[in-house]
A and B are shown apart, each in its own frame.
Chain A
């Protein structure tokens, strides 16, 4: 039998395909069972862990629940947790490890804006996907970054409206944590207070390890504002709420905050120290809805205790649920496929309906103005259904500029 070149090629290809088909099948089956790796980088230890402890459980609970229901796309999820120890250096180190070595398909995590900003370039470099489950100052326009928490247009705007317009507390004194979140959020605050017809008397910044607030409390009393705005962050800053109550007292001066409660501060303070503080939130345990109650019950059962869960615990669960929904929609866990499927992905969680806006990769959600009460939880004063991340939508369009990676800041 004589082969010409063409026949030889055809036969050889066929033979090769036949010979390798067993191997191919084997690989294919292996792939079907191979777990999808999910990274979670949060601060289990260190001064910022008040925000992470419940979120770590929230993420684990969501992953376990998905696995119990048969996994995603027929593949189980495998959770890799990394303790970033409240130190940004570990965020970049572990993000690299997660993506390069452990081959995770998504990273959930980062609490502070500074930790997010060190992880974003890493995620970009390895073509990964970052779900940042935290409230923040807004404006990050990056297709590899998804924000599932509140931004100022969602949280701060109704809060400022309530305090300045409804309560008539026009003169505000702003205290903020000294890093990018506090710096940018305080700018938003000044802008919104002015737009609401109020006055921002002063802005003062505090390093994260400051726990002596006596000087600023004396200054506040000399300045006599109507309301003190707290953008304070972390375990050391909780001391402010104690010292405020021991001197001025919330019955004499209103105290409003963008960050109070998300670190479960009220559980570390006495009932009196937490009573009366006003915050904007997308989830507190005491939301009067069936969803919230079901979520809190589920969380308590999972954690094996009945501690307060709070916004950041819910964010962990919310982030994983939204990502899983996007994976189902994309029929793939590859970061680029998931990113392409993000627009309009929606889940119903403890705080109501969350929908991702594909133009900005930010999330539309319900917002509530709540007030700390004497039983160390919160009473809902007012609710604002389905608020979009308007501030970021004004400046960011990932459909038009998919290569944008800027974080836009407010101008005042």
Chain B
């Protein structure tokens, strides 16, 4: 019973982290095919906005929302200034976003200094059996699931989602139908950035904000989205589920080092067996 609770908690928490860090990338890389190496830095910016907003007196929850909006707006600026000239030019996007990533790390280091900052989230803990768990971890799990479901609903059930999916599938056709594809690309990129900003803000009470924060997440995010395959949302959630189950169980019985190795091994095996990713065989869906 205790073991089961531990597993559930650790797997759920690990799942939430995988989903949070890779959901924005699932939109930007999975749907739009933009290799955004600055995605980790969008997460980092979200963390800093959250710290600043709480310092300015907002509650943590409002600060999290503010971080999402601010980073979303920042993403739109980035799309207008850099990304929109580079659609379809994969190597150039890669270089440009890498440059952006270095620029953001350097910029934040200059602005805030290199040390880390944080906000306290004192929600206390709850007990199952002998073991107490952090309440805030539950918040993280709930936010991750809400974002996942919300994103899915937005793409699947709204007119905006339909237009976005149509544009991503065939931009020329969508354009011919009278859709302003430039605007759609811009908003989609902004949405993916906002998801990253939210992720950073939600994680900040646990991990703190530092200029290097994004670097620790970017590789994991790409691995998750790539292992997920061509259906960005379903794929990313499936890959997160697989990785977090392994991560949760192995990190409990062995150590975090071993569990990270195990996750990477599984990712390699997965991609060897399903070269197109987990959802490679599926024809339709999101």
Contacts and interface: CB of A to CB of B under 8 A. Distances in A.
Interface of A: 44-47, 49-50, 53, 178, 204-207, 209-212, 214-216, 218-219, 221-222, 224, 235-236, 238-239, 242-243, 246-249, 268-270, 272-273
Interface string B101-117: 00000000100011111
A235 B212 contact: yes
A205 to B, nearest CB: 7
Contacts of B56: none
B17 interface: yes
B115 A268 contact: yes
A132 to B, nearest CB: 22
B120 A273 contact: yes
Contacts of B13: 212, 214
A247 B121 CA distance: 12
Contacts of A269: 118
Nearest to A242: B206
Contacts of A178: 257
A247 B257 contact: no
Contact of A272 (B122, B131, B136, B255): B122
A220 B171 CA distance: 54
Nearest to A207: B257
B61 interface: no
B125 A246 contact: yes
Given A236-B216, A246-B124, A246-B136, 20 more contacts: A53-B113, A53-B115, A207-B260, A212-B14, A214-B14, A215-B10, A218-B6, A218-B131, A218-B133, A235-B210, A236-B207, A238-B208, A239-B207, A242-B208, A246-B135, A249-B132, A268-B118, A269-B118, A270-B120, A272-B122
A45 B130 contact: no
Nearest to B203: A211
Nearest to A44: B114
A218 B252 contact: yes
Interface string B48-83: 000000000000000000000000000000000000
Given A242-B208, A269-B118, A207 B125 contact: no
Contacts of B9: 214, 218
B134 interface: yes
Nearest to A214: B13
Contact of B116 (A207, A209, A210, A268): A268
Contacts of B252: 215, 218-219
Nearest to A245: B122
A269 B120 CA distance: 8
Interface in B21-50: none
B256 A215 contact: yes
A337 B132 CA distance: 59
28 contacts: A45-B109, A45-B114, A47-B210, A207-B257, A212-B13, A212-B206, A214-B9, A214-B137, A216-B256, A218-B9, A218-B10, A219-B252, A221-B132, A222-B131, A235-B115, A235-B116, A236-B216, A238-B208, A242-B118, A242-B205, A246-B121, A246-B122, A246-B124, A246-B125, A247-B133, A268-B115, A270-B120, A272-B120
Contact of A50 (B115, B255, B257): B115
B203 to A, nearest CB: 9
A211 B216 contact: yes
Contacts of A243: 134, 206
A49 B211 CA distance: 12
A235 B208 contact: yes
Minimum-distance CB pairs A-B, first 7: A215-B251, A246-B134, A270-B120, A221-B131, A211-B207, A247-B134, A49-B114
A224 B116 CA distance: 31
B216 A204 contact: no
A236 B116 CA distance: 9
B2 interface: yes
Most buried by B among A246, A249, A270: A246
A53 B256 contact: no
B3 to A, nearest CB: 8
A247 B132 CA distance: 6
B130 A221 contact: yes
A204 B254 CA distance: 9
